[in-house]
Amino acid sequence: MIVKDAVCPFCGCLCDDIEVEVEVESGRVVGVTNACDLGATKFLGGERLKTPIRREGKTWKEISYDEAIRYAAEMLLDAERPLLYGWSGTHGEAQCVGVHMAELVRGVIDNTSSVCHGPSVLAIQEVGHPGCTLGVVKNRADVVIYWGSNPIDAHPRHLSRYTCYAEGFFLENSFRDRKVIVVDVRKTRTANIADEFVMVRPGGDYAVLSALRAIVRGKTDTIPPTVAGVTRDQLIRVADLCLNAKFGAVYFGLGLTMIPGKNKNVRNAIELVTELNRHTKFTISAMRGHYNVYGSNEVNTWMTGYPFAIDFSRGIAFYNPGETTAVDILARKECDAALIVGSDPAAHFPRKCIEHLAEIPVVQLDPYPNATTAFCSVQIPVAVTGVDAEGTAYRMDGVPIRTKKVVSSDYLSDEDVLTRMYVLMQEALKR
């Protein structure tokens, strides 16, 4: 059986043209067409955890869903300052339950954007977001800039669906007419296909952005011979390409958010785009990583007013990145229990944070054993959204797309497990 137009639950591109071949007898995915390597591997799946597991001393014991869900609910109820973290690897409906749950136990809920595009969100809160959907870029953009992002490795189909290799309705020959500029500290594989590659000295992005802003403002004579390793001539050439564009689009990655300056780098990039909009049309957007990390920001914002790092300990939503973000809370050894959903902080957080995870009860909802499993008191396997569970995810440009269930399984979805936990918690608090 072929399932057409399946939605890929890997990266923020959320490609919705995937064909998945399912073997009817076994109910397994046996073939994937149109997806990149990352997406195909996700559909084909790996060795999943079969039942919930509980750590007992130095061994693991298989337990029932009922027992695991009861443990998770009691852990959150007993905690003084629980942390509910992750959320980008699950669907919006599950994220909704998570927010309700965090409010109920007066916990802190944070999502993985705090360690990817959290600084971008901070910049957007300062100066706004002149963005647009991917379809607009595909059909109109004649200049595309990838700044501190490497889509060939991280978002492999971004180029073929929306930029370099995509047909554009308003471009006669989009492959020839569309100029691609890559700005990076490494000569990545994406840099190799650029019409103009700008190699910046590490940490120099802010200065290069400022220099481009100055040139766009007509202050070219203030630019020194080189700025963070970039020659004045190249800066002028890049600024000219941008100024002569009919429609330009900047896509920036973690190369701006994970270096010193963080949100201020992104702010400078947004302000460069604002300058360019005095002359032509230009947009800027973040290359969001997980398939529904944008959704975690959306859901949190429309439910609490804040996109991530929300602390309910005061009985109201309180937001202070740097204080209420997961890395900071763990590094300060502040939380006394953690619920992890759809992410793997033990693989992606600094060591100090993981050392604290080893000292507190941890429950994780994840289909696969991962690095965080090693710190779990209980892990509950769940269905994979987009494979054996359906739900809403937000693409990197903010477009919500309903992921499909392409196979059936006995696994509960994140939403099912969280709802059962939430009901138990409500009942316990009524008593």
List the interface residues with another protein, window 162-221 (CB under 8 A): 185-189, 199, 202-203
Binding residue for another protein, selected from 16, 328, 334, 336, defined by CB under 8 A: 328
* Total binding residues toward another protein, as defined by CB under 8 A: 75
Closest to another protein by CB, 104 vs 127, is 127
Which among 117, 80, 75, 116 is positioned nearest to 365, based on CA atoms?
A: 75
**Cβ neighbours of residue 80 under 8 Å, at least 6 residues apart?**
336
Does 265 contact another protein by CB under 8 A? no
Chain positions 62 to 101 lying near another protein, rule: CB under 8 A, are none
Encoded one letter per residue, x for contact with another protein by CB under 8 A and - for no contact, window 98-137 reads ------------x---xx--xx--x---------------
Distance between CA atoms of residues 192 and 183, nearest Å: 11
Task: Give the SS3 label for residue 237.
Answer: helix
Does 43 contact another protein by CB under 8 A? no
Chain positions 279 to 308 lying near another protein, rule: CB under 8 A, are 289, 308
Closest to another protein by CB, 128 vs 260, is 260
Task: In angstroms, give the least distance from the CB of 20 to another protein.
Answer: 16
Distance between CA atoms of residues 118 and 308, nearest Å: 8
Task: In angstroms, give the least distance from the CB of 41 to another protein.
Answer: 5
Vertex 28, ends 27 and 34: CA angle to 5°?
125
Does 58 contact another protein by CB under 8 A? yes
Does 322 contact another protein by CB under 8 A? yes
- Token output for 41: 């591997």
Burial class (CB in 10 A: 0-12, 13-18, 19+), 259: middle
Closest to another protein by CB, 141 vs 269, is 269
Task: In angstroms, give the least distance from the CB of 368 to another protein.
Answer: 5
Which among 177, 169, 173, 105 is positioned nearest to 137, based on CA atoms?
A: 169
C-beta neighbour count of 348 within 10 angstroms: 15
Look at strands 310-311 and 53-56 and give their pairing: unpaired
C-alpha distances (whole Å) from 345 to each of 111, 151, 293 are: 11, 23, 14
Binding residue for another protein, selected from 77, 259, 317, 401, defined by CB under 8 A: 259
Of the candidate spans 95-103, 132-140, 219-227, 345-353, the one that interacts with another protein by CB under 8 A turns out to be: 345-353
Binding residue for another protein, selected from 8, 76, 215, 309, defined by CB under 8 A: 309
Binding residue for another protein, selected from 331, 336, 400, 401, defined by CB under 8 A: 331
Task: In angstroms, give the least distance from the CB of 328 to another protein.
Answer: 6
Of the candidate spans 44-52, 129-137, 170-178, 234-242, the one that interacts with another protein by CB under 8 A turns out to be: 44-52
Does 374 contact another protein by CB under 8 A? yes
The amino acid that residue 200 corresponds to is V
Task: In angstroms, give the least distance from the CB of 359 to another protein.
Answer: 7
Over the Cα atoms of the chain, what is R_g?
23
Closest to another protein by CB, 189 vs 402, is 189
Closest to another protein by CB, 58 vs 176, is 58
Of the candidate spans 158-166, 215-223, 362-370, 398-406, the one that interacts with another protein by CB under 8 A turns out to be: 362-370
Distance between CA atoms of residues 327 and 26, nearest Å: 42
The amino acid that residue 10 corresponds to is F
Closest to another protein by CB, 89 vs 131, is 89
Vertex 287, ends 286 and 289: CA angle to 5°?
125
Distance between CA atoms of residues 427 and 247, nearest Å: 56
Task: In angstroms, give the least distance from the CB of 430 to another protein.
Answer: 35
Task: In angstroms, give the least distance from the CB of 299 to another protein.
Answer: 18
Does 349 contact another protein by CB under 8 A? yes
Does 231 contact another protein by CB under 8 A? no
Does 344 contact another protein by CB under 8 A? yes
> Facing residues of 60 across strands?
55
Does 381 contact another protein by CB under 8 A? no
- Token output for 109: 């809920």
Sheet holding 318-319, edge to edge: 59-62, 53-56, 378-380, 362-365, 337-341, 82-86, 108-111, 310-311, 318-319
Distance between CA atoms of residues 69 and 38, nearest Å: 31
- Token output for 219: 């202050």
